[in-house]
Chain A
Amino acid sequence: MNGSTGKMLRVDLTQGKLWDEALDEATLKKYLGGTGLGIKYLMEEVDPKLDWSDPKNILFLGSGPLGGSRVPGCASISFVTKGAMTNGATSSQANGNFGAYLKWCGYDAIIVQGVSSTWKYLYLHEGGAELRDASQLVGKGTWETEDAIKAELGYKERGMSVFSIGPAGEKMVRFAGIFGDRGHAAPHNGTGAVMGLKKLKAFAAQRAPNKLQFVDPQKLGELAKKTTEGAKAFGGGGVFNWGTSRVVPVAEAAGWLPVKNYQTDVFPEKDLFDGQRIRSLFQSQNYPCYGCASHHYELVTVTEGPYKGFFGKEPEYEQWAAWGPQIWQKDPGAAVVLSNECDNLGMDANEAGWLVGWVMECYEKGALKKEDLGGLEMTWGNVEATRALLKKIANREGYGDILAEGVKRAAEKLGGEAVNWAIFTGKGNTPRGHDHRGRWVEMLDTVVSDSQTLQTQMLVMNKDLWKMPNPMDVFNPDHVVQAEANSTGSMTVCDCLVQCWFTSFCDTETQTEAINAATGWNLSLEEVMKVGRRVVNVLRLYNLKCGLTPDKEKPSPRYCSQPVDGPNKDKPIAPHWEKMLDQYYSLMGWDRKTGMPLPETLKELGIEDLAK
Chain B
Amino acid sequence: MKIDPELCIVCEACLPYCPMEAISIKDDMAVIDDDECVDCNVCLKSGCCPVDAFVFEPAPWPRSVRNVFSDPRKEHKETKIAGRGTEEMKTNDVTGRFQRGWVGMGCEVGRPGVGTRFRDVDKIAQALAKHDVEFEPKNPVTSLMEDPKTGKIKQDVLNEKVLSAIIECLYPIEKFEEIMNTLKEVSKEVDTVFSVEVINRTDPDGSYPLRKKLDAMGIPYYINGKQCVGLGRPLAKV
Asked whether A288 and B6 contact (CB < 8 A) given A69-B28, A210-B28, A228-B12, the answer is no
Residues of chain A within 8 A (CB-CB) of B27 are 210, 217
Determine if B55 is an interface residue (Cβ-Cβ < 8 Å): no
A158, A228, A288: which has the most chain B beta carbons within 10 Å?
Answer: A158
Chain B, residues 3-24, CB within 8 Å of chain A (1/0): the string is 0011101111100000000000
- A207 contacts the other chain (CB 8 A): yes
B11 lies within 8 A of A158 (CB): no
Q: Which of A289-297, A447-455, A604-612 lies at the interface with chain B?
A: A289-297
0 or 1 for each of A532-569: is its CB under 8 Å from B? (1 = yes):
00000000000000000000000000000000000000
B-side contacts of A72, CB under 8 Å: 11
Q: Is the CB of B50 within 8 A of A290?
A: no
Instruction: Determine the chain B residues whose CB is within 8 A of the CB of A210 once the complex forms.
Output: 27-29
Q: For chain A residues 273-295, which have a beta carbon within 8 Å of chain B? A: 286-293
Contacting residue for A290 out of B9, B12, B13, B25, CB 8 A? B9
Summarize A's interface: helix, strand, loop or mixed.
loop
Convert A566-582 into 0s and 1s, putting 1 for each residue whose CB lies closer than 8 angstroms to a CB of B: 00000000000000000
Interchain CB contact under 8 A, A217 and B11: no
Most chain A CB inside 10 Å of its own CB: which residue of B7, B11, B12, B25: B11
| Residues 147-199 (chain A) with a chain B CB within 8 angstroms | 156, 158-159
Q: Does A595 touch B at the CB level, under 8 Å?
A: no
From 51 to 69 in chain B, residues with beta carbon under 8 angstroms from any chain A beta carbon are 51
**Which residues on A sit within 8 Å (CB–CB) of B10?**
70, 224, 290-291
Give chain A residues whose Cβ lies under 8 Å from the Cβ of B29: 210
Q: How close is B49's CB to chain A, nearest CB, in angstroms?
A: 9
Q: How far is the CA of A72 from the CA of B28 in the complex (A)?
A: 12
Known pairs A293-B12, A293-B13; A158 contacts B50 (CB<8 A): no
In the assembly, what is the distance between CA of A158 and CA of B9, in Å?
A: 10
Question: In the complex, A289→B10 CA distance in Å?
Answer: 10
Shortest CB–CB separation between residue B66 and chain A, in angstroms? 28
A289 CB to nearest B CB, Å: 7
Q: Give the shortest distance, in Å, between A208 (CB) and chain B (any CB).
A: 10
- 1/0 per residue, CB under 8 A from A, across B108-145: the answer is 00000000000000000000000000000000000000
Expressed in whole angstroms, the minimum distance between the Cβ of A227 and any Cβ of chain B is: 12
Q: Judge whether A156 and B6 touch: CB under 8 Å.
A: yes
Q: Are A158 and B12 in contact (CB under 8 A)?
A: no
Instruction: Identify which of B5, B12, B28, B50 contacts A286 (C-beta below 8 A).
Output: B50
Q: A237: CB under 8 A from chain B?
A: no
A288 touching B28, Cβ below 8 Å: no
The answer to whether A288 and B11 touch across the interface, beta carbons within 8 angstroms, is yes
A221 CB–B CB distance under 8 Å: yes
Partner of A291, one of B5, B6, B11: B11
C-alpha gap A141/B7 in the complex (Å): 25
Closest Cβ of chain B to A564, distance in Å, is 44
- CA gap between A290 and B11 in the complex, in Å: 8
Closest to B25 in A: A221
The docked-state distance in angstroms from the alpha carbon of A225 to that of B10 is: 11
Known: A70-B25, A221-B25. A287 touches B9 (CB 8 A): no
CB distance from B7 to the nearest CB of A (A): 6
Q: Provide the bound-state CA to CA distance between A113 and B211, in Å.
A: 89
Report the Cα distance A228→B11, complex, angstroms: 9
B7 lies within 8 A of A158 (CB)? yes
Q: Which residues of A contact B51 (CB under 8 A)?
A: 158, 288
Q: In the complex, A156 Cα to B27 Cα: how many Å?
A: 23
- CB nearest to A285 among chain B residues: B50
Closest to A210 in B: B28
User: Within 8 Å CB of A209, what residues of B?
Assistant: 5
> Assuming A69-B28, A158-B51, is B12 touching A288 (CB within 8 A)?
no
Q: Are A289 and B50 in contact (CB under 8 A)?
A: no
Which chain B residues border A156 with CB–CB below 8 Å?
Answer: 6
Q: A70-B28, A286-B50, A288-B50 are in contact. Are A293 and B6 (CB under 8 A)?
A: no
Known interface pairs A158-B6, A288-B50, A288-B51; A217-B28 also in contact (CB < 8 Å) = yes
Among B5, B12, B28, B29, max chain A CB count under 10 A is at: B28
Q: Residue on B with the closest CB to A295?
A: B50
Contacts of A221 in B (CB 8 A): 25
**A residues near B13, Cβ cutoff 8 Å:** 293
A45 → chain B, closest Cβ, in Å? 34
* A292→B9 contact, CB < 8 A: yes
Q: How far is the CA of A69 from the CA of B25 in the complex (A)?
A: 13
A207 vs B25: C-alpha distance in the bound complex, in angstroms? 19
* Residues of chain A in range 131-159 having any CB-CB distance to chain B below 8 Å: 156, 158-159
> In the complex, how many angstroms separate the beta carbon of B13 from the nearest chain A beta carbon?
6
Residues of B within 8 A of A228 (CB): 12
A-B contact pairs, 25 of them (CB 8 A): A69-B28, A70-B10, A70-B25, A70-B28, A158-B6, A158-B7, A207-B6, A210-B29, A217-B27, A217-B28, A221-B25, A225-B12, A228-B12, A287-B50, A288-B9, A288-B11, A288-B50, A289-B9, A290-B10, A291-B10, A291-B11, A292-B9, A292-B11, A293-B12, A293-B13
6 nearest A-B pairs in the assembled complex, by CB-CB distance:
A293-B11, A286-B50, A70-B10, A290-B9, A70-B28, A288-B50
Q: Given A224-B10, A288-B51, 18 other A-B contacts at CB below 8 A?
A: A70-B28, A72-B11, A156-B6, A158-B6, A158-B7, A159-B6, A210-B27, A217-B27, A221-B25, A228-B12, A286-B50, A287-B50, A288-B9, A288-B11, A289-B9, A291-B9, A292-B11, A293-B12
